[in-house]
Structure 1
Amino acid sequence: MANMALTTTTLPKFRHLGSTILRRTPTIGRNPRAFVTVSPRPLQASASQEASNAAEDGTKEVKRTAEDVKDKVISTGEQVAQKTKEVASSVSEAAQNMGEKAKQTVQEAWGSAKETSQKIKDTVVGKAEETVNDTADATKQTAENVQRSMNSKN
């Protein structure tokens, strides 16, 4: 029978190749045949694991960034709402102050108009009284003159 040798060799540089089996067959002669078994390459497994870890890390970072952006948007929205309330309050106060000033101005104008009307009334009435008095005196004078003239003709 033929001489059969079974050899298992692992090469450190090519660790992923696994075991190699050499066998001499009687029909071929002295040419050995090699059967190589291949196990999963650790490089592929670790690369796959690293890619998975990187994807998880990337996902976590995207989530963190999205949450930061969301928080900033909410914070900005709250600040805008607060500013809007403050501005609305100050506008309301300014409008109220303007209303008070307008009311005061109208009241002052009304008081001034009343005083002016009273002065005009007093002046007109006073002049009318003077005119009436003057007219009455003049009429009296004329009546006295007419009576004197009539007495002198009789």
Structure 2
Amino acid sequence: MANKTLITTTLSKFRSIPSSNFLRRDPFRPRLYVSAGTRPLQGSSAQEASRACDKAADAVKQGVKETKETAQDKKDQASSTVDQVTQKTKEVVNKVSETAGDLTEKAKQTAQDAWGSAKEAGQKMKESVVGKAEDAKEIIEEKTEDVKRS
């Protein structure tokens, strides 16, 4: 009897299965035989394997989803960077265009100022030459009158 108690307590992890299925005693032999059914264990193993496969498939799906999201984020960042570079390039081109326009206007103004200065210098030279010519003419007329009187 003590052996039956020891075996019953040792096999306590199989509580869901009645102990009468495990322990059998042959009335003609003093030995105790232990038998256990293997089908319930195999059935649960198949269910556990199925659940494990389902969990693995879910984990793979989740990994793929996260990878797609990360790739989309990186694509958006790259696109944003390209847009920023394009915008900066447009700004630089506009500034260069404005600067070129300003330089052209300044060059035009400088050329007009130079032309005005040249005209003024020409006018002064003309006035100077004409003035000297008139002075010379007057002197010649005076000399001519002096010669006539003499």
Fold-level match, TM-score > 0.5? Answer: yes
Question: Residues of 2 paired with 1:22 and 1:111: CA distance?
Answer: 125
The answer to which structure, 1 or 2, has the higher relative contact order (CA under 8 A, 6+ apart) is: 1
Letter in 2 for 1:57: D
Give the alignment of 1:54-93 within 5 angstroms.
54-93=55-94
| Aligned position for 2:136 | 135
Which 5+ residue runs of structure 1 have no aligned equivalent?
1-10
Decide which of 10, 17, 24 is 1:22's aligned counterpart.
Answer: 24
- 2:25–2:33 CA contact under 8 A, matched in 1: yes
In terms of fraction of residues, the more strand-rich structure is 1
Question: Residues of 2 paired with 1:136 and 1:25: CA distance?
Answer: 171
| Aligned position for 1:126 | 127
Question: Residues of 1 paired with 2:105 and 2:142: CA distance?
Answer: 54
**Percent identity, aligned pairs only?**
7
Report the RMSD for the aligned CA atoms in angstroms: 3.2
Q: How many residues align?
A: 135
- 2:23–2:32 CA contact under 8 A, matched in 1: no
| Aligned position for 1:96 | 97
Q: SS state of the match for residue 67, structure 1?
A: helix
The CA deviation string for residues 10-65 of structure 1, in whole angstroms up to 9 with x for no partner, is x96154x9x53635385xx4233334454436665555444433322222222111
Question: Residues of 2 paired with 1:34 and 1:13: CA distance?
Answer: 15
- 1:25–1:32 CA contact under 8 A, matched in 2: no
In terms of fraction of residues, the more helix-rich structure is 2
| Aligned position for 1:13 | 15
Question: Residues of 1 paired with 2:14 and 2:35: CA distance?
Answer: 18
The CA deviation string for residues 55-95 of structure 1, in whole angstroms up to 9 with x for no partner, is 22222222111111111111122222222222222222222
Q: SS state of the match for residue 30, structure 1?
A: coil
How far is 1:128 from its partner? 1.4
